[in-house]
Amino acid sequence: MIKRTLIFCVVISTVLFLYAGKRKKNIDNLPLYNTKWLLEEIYEKPIVQSSDTAFIIFNENNKFSGNLGCNLFFGEFTFGKKRIKLDYFGATKKYCKDSSVEELFTKALRDDITHYIIENNKLYLRNKTQVICKFEGVISSIKTEFLNQEK
């Protein structure tokens, strides 16, 4: 009887430990909405930026916007559980000295992105076979300003 009770306690403790670890992992991730996602990679190639210029922000009204590296861009999106569809609308058209990141980022946004994953504060936009873009998340300055106004 003591042996069964001990085994039961070990099993329950293990299940609770694993469940608590999973929940904490999800809580630590930044949300898709109102996070400034800084571009790190396109088609698994690192992007070197002199500053945090190229980024994307997803808003709660299902619109996204950001910076391609020089020009600003905007559009709408739909999403569900781990699925996302970007409807790329357009961008400003000012002259840029180096448009290599901008051209790649524009192509990536127009690619057939179907899924997203957020792990360890990284956002991965992907199609069925590969990661298209990888971003690092930081709390958006818009959200930070809003939180400061609330105080």
- Tell me the C-alpha to C-alpha distance, in Å, between residue 46 and each of 5, 78, 104: 54, 27, 12
Average predicted confidence (pLDDT) for the chain: 81
69 shares its domain with 108? yes
Residue ranges in the chain assigned as alpha helix (H) = 2-28, 100-110, 141-150
Q: Residue 31 gets which letter from DSSP?
A: P
7 shares its domain with 81? no
48 shares its domain with 98? yes
Q: What is the CA radius of gyration of the chain?
A: 20
Per-residue pLDDT of the chain (151 residues; tens, 9 = 90+): 676 654 554 445 554 454 444 433 445 689 999 999 999 999 999 998 776 689 999 999 999 999 999 999 999 999 998 999 999 889 999 998 888 899 999 999 998 899 999 999 999 999 999 999 999 999 865 544 444 444 4
pLDDT at 141: 59
- Beta-carbon-side half-sphere exposure of residue 95 (alpha carbons within 13 Å): 1
Residue 14 · residue 35 · CB < 8 Å: no
132 shares its domain with 112? yes
> What is the pTM assigned to this prediction?
0.74
37 shares its domain with 8? no
Residue 32 · residue 118 · CB < 8 Å: yes
In the block, which residue shows the tokens 């996204």?
Answer: 64
129 shares its domain with 139? yes
pLDDT at 61: 95
CA 20/CA 17 separation, integer angstroms: 5
